[in-house]
Every structure is written in structure tokens, then in C-alpha cells.
Structure 1
Amino acid sequence: MDSFQASCWSEHEELKVVMLCAPTILDVTDSTIAENVGWSATVNHVKAMENFMELKTTLENAGVKVIDYSKELTNDEKTVSEQLINRYFVRDLACVLGNSMFLGEAGSSLRRPEYPHAHSLLEKWFPEKLNKQPSTALECGDVMILNKDAVLINIGMRTTLEAVESIKGRIFQEGFSEIAIIDLPRRSDTLHLDMNCNVANANLVIAKNFMRYFPVHVFTAQTNRFAMTEQFLNRHGFDVYWLEKYNTIPDINFINLNPETLLISKQASKEQWTKHPLLQKKNLIEIEVSELEKGGGGIRCMTLPLLRK
């Protein structure tokens, strides 16, 4: 792998390097199996791989370096890894905050084997960047960089308050001045933070409208206080585009390729991209990921940014 320094200070600046993982070689063959593994429908692995290759190729065509970590595993690791049905949701495994890598900890036993596979590679690639893995669950789909000052973290089904407490000091050391903790409903459609809101522009967050009723616990290195979600976001320069109607995964779970361009699912509701003046100016690249989305996550879940300019 070509050497580079991992660094991310936002969700919207130019994406330069991203980690992915190819989907499982297994089919999910009937609705009962899908229900038991937490998926919405049956999945054909050939179609899933076609979706993955479209995602990978689109990123590369946009000038993003793509690392598929499944290709870097040992033969013994591959024997297990290729049968892990959720392994392509790499966002949860780790996150880069500022100039440091923070390792996640699985909040589900079904996903636990993925973490040491990916972490062993990250430890090899970024030995001086890594922070100690938390002792309790921290899935990084619950972590969102707002800007160089603020990070928003959800505690809920897959991330614990204890895990956030264990890393917040190091986040402050990176230079972020505030960490806001929100506690969202514990359901499959609100599983992670990025199934409820997302950064769509340097000054715009898209969010499900129920979030306006939720407070956040705001920490600085020395103080803490409570605020409402919109108040906190406004203070950090963000307007909020509240969605009253939405299809959770395709409408919320997108990724910024650069300040002008969003990578979105072909299943996303077109209406939301025409109503807000800032979104009307965006270059939207649509890709087919519907087979992968049946696993319960979207484009943001499938991408782990390692470097944003």
C-alpha cells in the first residue's frame, strides 16, 4: 500500500483515500434467514458484487484511492472473512478524527470477527496514528465530524457512553473543542447516527425531523452542558434540513466526494434534492447499491474515509 498520512477534519471536503471491503461470497437465500440476520430481504452475492464494483469504480473515477481490505488478509483470515455477511459495512470498524485513527469495538456478536481482521491491517498501516480500542462497544457509524471544532456521537444500540468517555479526552487532544452526545431511539431504522442525519454541505445537515426534539450533552475539555440538537448545530454554522418523509438508508446514508459532489443511491428520493437551495447546486452521482442496501446500511456505511483534503 502506498504510504500516506491518515487525516479527516470534516465530512464534506475532498475525499482522497477510502477503505472498502468486498461483500460476502454467501447468498442470503430466504426471508427467514434475512430476518434472523437483520437484513431486509434476500440477497444474491453476484448482484451484491456488481453493486460493490460500481461503488469502487465510481470512487476511483472520481480520483479517490480505494483500498479493499479483504485483499490484504491472510489466507486463514480470508476463510472466515469471506463468510461474514456484514463485513462490507466498514464505517463501523474505525474512524479518523483529525490526524488520529480511533478503533471501534463491535456492538453485535455477529460483527465481532470483522474488527480484528481490519484492525490488524490498520495497526500495520498506521502504527503511530492509532488510539487504544475502547473496552465497550463503539461502532463508528455513530461518529460524525461536523467541522474542525465539533464532533457528534450517538450512544444507543451499538455504542456505549463508557466507550465515548474513554476516547473523548483524545478527541480533544486532536484539537476539537466540543463533543456532543445524543441518545437516539434503539430501532433497526435508527441503528447508527448516520441512519438519522448526515452532513450534506459545509453549512447544512440533513436530518430526520424527530431529532429536533432530542437534546445533546455537550462536552468541552473542562465543561459540560445540555443543548437542543438544532441549537448545537446552528452554533457550529449548520442549518438543518429537516426531512418529514424519508426512505432511511438511501435518503440519509450518502457520502461527500468533495464540497460540490455527493455520491448517492439510485434509490434515493429525488424530491429532497430539489427542495433545498444548497442541494440544488450539488453535483449528484447516483449508483446502484440496492442489493447491498438490503443488508441494513448505505453508502456511508460502506465507506471508511482515511484521508480528506
Structure 2
Amino acid sequence: MSSSSINVYSEIGRLKKVLLHRPGRELENLMPEYLERLLFDDIPYLKKAQEEHDFFADIFRSMNIETVYLEDLVADSLVNEDIKNQFIDEYIEEADIKERRESRILKEFFLSFKSNREMVVKMMEGIRKSEINDYRGPRLADYLSNQYPFIIDPMPNLYFTRDPFATVGKGVTIHKMFTVTRNRETLFAKYIFNCNLKYKETKLYYDRCEKASLEGGDILVLNSEVVAVGISQRTNPNAIEKFASLLLTEDTTFKKVLAVDIPKTRAFMHLDTVFTMVDYDKFTIHPNIKSDMNVYVLQRDIEGKISITEEKGTLEDILKKELHLDNVKLIKCGGNSVIDAAREQWNDGSNTLCIAPGEVIVYSRNYVTNEILQQEGIKVHTMPSSELSRGRGGPRCMSMPLIRENL
């Protein structure tokens, strides 16, 4: 493994390598009846969503940022037949296929693909019952279950690569997701970081077998000593404590984890949907977040145990103290307009992706917030988002930095 395969010590260091997933036919397996089950509010038009995503990727390439894709990394991780068979078996099991006959049919189906990449893409898309002849067995239960059109559900949330795992320092957290629907996504991360020749020795700071949920949108690497984690609808405080115990060791530069308590609703889904870092001392923020948030500092005491203290004061004051900053600027999504803020926050106006200090990628539709960012001296790269935004996530949600320059 190259010592530089993972290197993320900030939110704002110049981005050098990023992981994406270009939306695929999993979006065309969304149906109105099952949107809630799959955590979607609407059905994006795939062709347009892909064009928008390609525009996103082209921004990276135009700036010499190496772009890699999830399906390629997973396919490259299946380095021999034993690992490939184990991967297929585990995928089928986690898709909740219990009958031996059905498992056998599905395994034969996956093994029929000419390449590992084609097989992985099909796993991501989901499998319609119409795709496999004679899948329905002779049992009464098979007839009664025939109304549901899928053998295996699609994974439409995969283009939000930020969530199933997160890079922190030279290590990674593989997550126990809040919902069953998304937990299957972390299987791909398991094989990348256990089997891929480039990544298999990466240090783990959390694993998917843990009981408490932790999601990548809640993890922000503020600098080489401080990581913020949202206590959110989808990240459990017990997970944060376990993560801190594995991260805050003599083997890393990190000294503190800031646990930030945010509202437990879908509107405030993850910390990065309400709060992102765009420069050394500038942050975007959801306009409805209170200035005096509850923040808890986790660090090791003189006995080596994790201690927890509550920080009191405004968010600005806490950030100045913990990040050793003279000033902090919180930039409100939508500015001071209640209407603009509500509209643009709905389309993730606070979910900026910083690609270098003071330089971000944002959705073009959030033009009020984008103009405010420019007025604050932030260089803004806009991307189209009429379809991608229907998944309720922004540019940060859609990207997982693998390498950033150290500040």
C-alpha cells in the first residue's frame, strides 16, 4: 500500500484525489410507491442526472484532481476467485435472500457476468424479477410475494459517496448506517479496505459491524488535531464515543473530537447539510441553526481515558477556541431572507465542497447563497443540479476525498 493512498487532515486542503459514483440505472429502479423505503423524495431523470454528474467530475479534472469511481475500486478489490465468491455470498445474504434455492440462482446470475465491474454495477442497480427467468419458486409464499417487483432493491443513494465511509487522516471509518436500505452500501467499502491492493492496509477507526450508527455526512475533519462529528438523526452518540476512542491515540495527530448536537430531523439530516468549512475561518451554516449549539469535547485525560466536557457559548466562540482562530465568519445559506434561505437550504445550499482554501463547488441553483459566498471572497465553481438535487444532497455529499494536501 502506498503511504499516500489516504491523506485527509482538513476540510479545505487542496483536493488531489476524490471518489465518486456516477448515478446509474438504480435511479430508474425508483418507483413512487417505494420512495420512502429507499430514502428518496422524488425520481431524478437519469440521463440528465448523469450529464450533471459528468459536469461535476469535469470540474475536478480541469483542476488536475484525480477522479476515481466506486464501482472500479470495488471491481479491482475482487483480486481472486475466493474473494469474489465470498463477496457475492455476503451481498446475497445482506440482500435478505434466505432461501437456498434463490441464493443459488442469484449466485449463478452474478457469476455469469463477463467482468467484475459489470457484476458490481448490476448489484448497485438492483434486480427486477423480470430479469431472471423462473426465479419464482413453487411455494405459496412465492406467489404471494410476487407483487413486489424486485428480487433485490436498488441502491439509489450510492451517488452520495460521502456517507458509507469517511477518510480521516491516513485512516478510514466504515459505517454502520442508520437505515437497512443504506447499510448494504458499506459492504463495498469493506472489500475496498480489506482486499484492494492499494487500500487494504488502511487503518480503521470504525467498522460496519458496530451496533451504533455512524454516517460520513456527520464527520468533518476541521484540522489535523480536531474532528467534528454531528449527533444527528443518523449518527448515535455511542458511535461517536467509540470512534473517538479509536482515533485519539498516540498514532495520530488528532487530539479532540467535537460532538455537535443538531436537530434530529430529515431537514437536518447530517452535520454537513447544515454546516461546512469553506476557508480557514469561514463556514457555511443553515440559517435555522441556533448560534448557541450544544458542543461536547471528547479527548483523552492524563490517565488515557476518554473524557467529555461540554463547551458553552456561541458556535463562533467555540470554533475560535478549538481551532485557535482570531475570527470566525458564519455565512448563512440564503442570507437574511427567510424565503431564500428555506428554498436554497432545501437544495443543500449549505452543503459546499471545498477543493482548496477559499474555493468551493456548489449547485448553480443556489444563486443567492453563491453570491454571498463570492462577496465573502470565496471562489465559486457552479454545477447544474436540477436532477441530482432531487436526492437531497449537495456537492460535499456526492464526493469522498481520498487525498488532500496538508495545510
- Would the TM-score normalized by the shorter structure come out above 0.5? yes
Tell me which protein shows more strand as a share of its residues. 1
Q: Which residue of 2 aligns with 1:19?
A: 19
Q: Does 1:94 align with 2:165?
A: yes
Q: Does 1:233 align with 2:319?
A: yes
| 1:292 Cα offset (Å) | 1.1
- Distance in 1, matches of 2:19 and 2:266, equals 25
Deviation string, structure 1 residues 133-160 (Cα, Å, up to 9, x no partner): 0502111100011112211101222111
Q: Does 1:157 align with 2:233?
A: yes
Amino acid in the other structure paired with 1:129: T
| 1:274 Cα offset (Å) | 4.3
Amino acid in the other structure paired with 1:213: D
Q: Which residue of 2 aligns with 1:169?
A: 245
Q: Which residue of 2 aligns with 1:49?
A: 50
Q: Does 1:293 align with 2:389?
A: yes
The RMSD of aligned alpha carbons is 2.3
- Distance in 2, matches of 1:170 and 1:93, equals 18
- Distance in 2, matches of 1:71 and 1:150, equals 32
Q: Does 1:214 align with 2:300?
A: no
- Distance in 2, matches of 1:180 and 1:63, equals 33
- Distance in 1, matches of 2:361 and 2:36, equals 28
- Distance in 2, matches of 1:218 and 1:101, equals 21
- Checking the alignment, whether the CA contact within 8 Å between 2:273 and 2:348 is kept in structure 1 is no
Q: Does 1:130 align with 2:209?
A: no
Q: Which residue of 1 aligns with 2:120?
A: 77
Structure 1 pair 211–127 and aligned structure 2 pair: CA distance change class (3 A): farther
Q: Which residue of 2 aligns with 1:189?
A: 267
- Which range moves more in the overlay, 162-171 or 127-136? 127-136
Q: Which residue of 2 aligns with 1:146?
A: 222
Amino acid in the other structure paired with 1:85: P
Q: Secondary structure at the match of 1:179?
A: strand
Q: Which residue of 1 aligns with 2:8?
A: 8
- Distance in 1, matches of 2:364 and 2:384, equals 5
- Distance in 1, matches of 2:223 and 2:291, equals 20
Q: Secondary structure at the match of 1:87?
A: helix
- Distance in 2, matches of 1:90 and 1:146, equals 19
Amino acid in the other structure paired with 1:232: I
Q: Secondary structure at the match of 2:189?
A: helix
- Which range moves more in the overlay, 217-226 or 231-240? 231-240
| 1:4 Cα offset (Å) | 3.9
Structure 1 pair 240–225 and aligned structure 2 pair: CA distance change class (3 A): farther
Amino acid in the other structure paired with 1:261: E
Between the two proteins, the alignment pairs up a number of residues equal to 307
Q: Secondary structure at the match of 1:212?
A: coil
- Percent identity between matched residues is 20
Q: Which residue of 2 aligns with 1:38?
A: 39
- Distance in 1, matches of 2:254 and 2:372, equals 32
Deviation string, structure 1 residues 206-243 (Cα, Å, up to 9, x no partner): 21242313211111211431114332212122614152
Amino acid in the other structure paired with 1:218: V
Structure 1 pair 144–29 and aligned structure 2 pair: CA distance change class (3 A): closer
Q: Which residue of 1 aligns with 2:348?
A: 250
Structure 1 pair 122–279 and aligned structure 2 pair: CA distance change class (3 A): farther
Q: Secondary structure at the match of 1:91?
A: coil
- Distance in 2, matches of 1:70 and 1:242, equals 36
Q: How does 1:262-281 map to 2 (within 5 A)?
A: 262-270=360-368, 272-275=369-372, 280-281=376-377
- Structure showing greater radius of gyration is 2
- Distance in 2, matches of 1:251 and 1:275, equals 11
- Checking the alignment, whether the CA contact within 8 Å between 1:100 and 1:130 is kept in structure 2 is yes
Runs of 4+ aligned structure 1 residues displaced above 6 Å come to none
Q: Which consecutive residues of structure 1, in runs of 5 or more, have no partner in the other structure?
A: none
- Distance in 2, matches of 1:17 and 1:122, equals 17
Q: Which consecutive residues of structure 2, in runs of 5 or more, have no partner in the other structure?
A: 76-115, 126-153, 302-306
Structure 1 pair 178–188 and aligned structure 2 pair: CA distance change class (3 A): same
- Checking the alignment, whether the CA contact within 8 Å between 1:35 and 1:41 is kept in structure 2 is no
